[in-house]
Amino acid sequence: MLLSGKTALVTGASRGIGEAIARAFHREGARVAICSRKQESLDSVATSIGPGVLPIAAHIGRADDLARLIERVTSELGPVDVLVNNAATNVAQGPCLSLDESAFDKMVEVNLKSTFRLIQALAPAMCARGSGSIVNIASVAGIKPQFESLLYSMTKAALIMMTKSYALELGPSGVRVNAIAPGLIQTRLSEFFWKDEERRQAVFGGQPIRHLGQPEEIAEIATLLASDRASYITGEVIVADGGFLLA
């Protein structure tokens, strides 16, 4: 039980990578709060995971939703020891010159400012207790630009630097901050890239690990980073991409 006695908050956990992380945390003994925009989906995921999972609907791009989320998690489960900033959107795809300011603002609000807001709200108590682990889900797109995905790549690159900056400042207070940069993982968010066989082959290229990544493969890394077993790791970006960036 790697996370026994810990309270965790995982955003975007009604499906995909976030759901897999919530399942793994629960398996390892954590009390887990999960959020996404739809209460119904969250309720059914929470029931399927088991007792001790708290489903709270919240739009991570809205400050008032985040304030309510934090209030409920801390009052019902206690102070948050582990925060996983996982929810994100990739709606604004397309040629860079076709993008407008509203798309820019939305992508920053949802993919970036949400993480800033949650860390600003939850990290002070972690620092006061002298321990905590924050895991940000970035992407290989934040390391190597994804074609016609300027805003997604840009927000993920900024998230990586946000991770390192927080790690530098919060480490002395016992709080570790790390990121995971997944490659292609089989979820709804990325189905454009894997559903069509031809496009899937084009994306895979010479990727040395040939299977399509699964959410559970990211969840195991998040579990390690969340746990005290990773006590000497901070400011890191763990790339889990089947070697995609090598190809």
Catalytic residues: 152
Q: Are the CB atoms for 133 and 230 separated by under 8 Å?
A: yes
Tokens linked to 227: 């746990």
CB of 131 or CB of 162, closer to ligand NAP: 162
Tell me the residue number closest to ligand NAP, measured at CB: 16
Interacting residue with ligand NAP among 55, 132, 182, 242 (CB under 6 A): 182
Q: How many residues interact with ligand NAP (rule CB under 6 A)?
A: 30
CB of 31 or CB of 117, closer to ligand NAP: 117
Q: Site map for ligand NAP, 115-154, x if CB under 6 A?
A: ----------------------x-x---------------
Q: Are the CB atoms for 225 and 28 separated by under 8 Å?
A: no
Q: How far is the CB of 127 from ligand NAP (least distance, A)?
A: 25
One-letter amino acid at 124 equals P
CB of 114 or CB of 234, closer to ligand NAP: 114
60 binds ligand NAP (CB under 6 A): yes
242 binds ligand NAP (CB under 6 A): no
Give the single-character DSSP code of 113.
I
23, containing H or E segment: helix 16-27
Tokens linked to 21: 């992380």
Q: Can you say whether residue 82 is alpha, beta or left, with left for phi > 0 and alpha for psi between -120 and 50 degrees?
A: beta
Residue 54 and residue 242: Cα distance in Å, rounded? 33
Interacting residue with ligand NAP among 51, 188, 201, 232 (CB under 6 A): 188
For residue 84, the SS3 value is strand
16 binds ligand NAP (CB under 6 A): yes
Interacting residue with ligand NAP among 190, 207, 223, 227 (CB under 6 A): 190
Q: How far is the CB of 4 from ligand NAP (least distance, A)?
A: 25
Residue 198 and residue 189: Cα distance in Å, rounded? 18
Residue 84 and residue 225: Cα distance in Å, rounded? 10
Judged by CB under 6 A, the chain residues 66 through 95 that form the site for ligand NAP are 86-89
CB of 38 or CB of 129, closer to ligand NAP: 38
CB of 117 or CB of 176, closer to ligand NAP: 117
**Rg from Cα positions in the chain:** 17
* Cα 228 to the center of its chain, rounded Å: 19
Residue 212 and residue 194: Cα distance in Å, rounded? 8
Point out which residues bind ligand NAP (CB under 6 A). 11-18, 35-38, 41, 59-61, 86-89, 110, 137, 139, 182, 184-185, 187-190
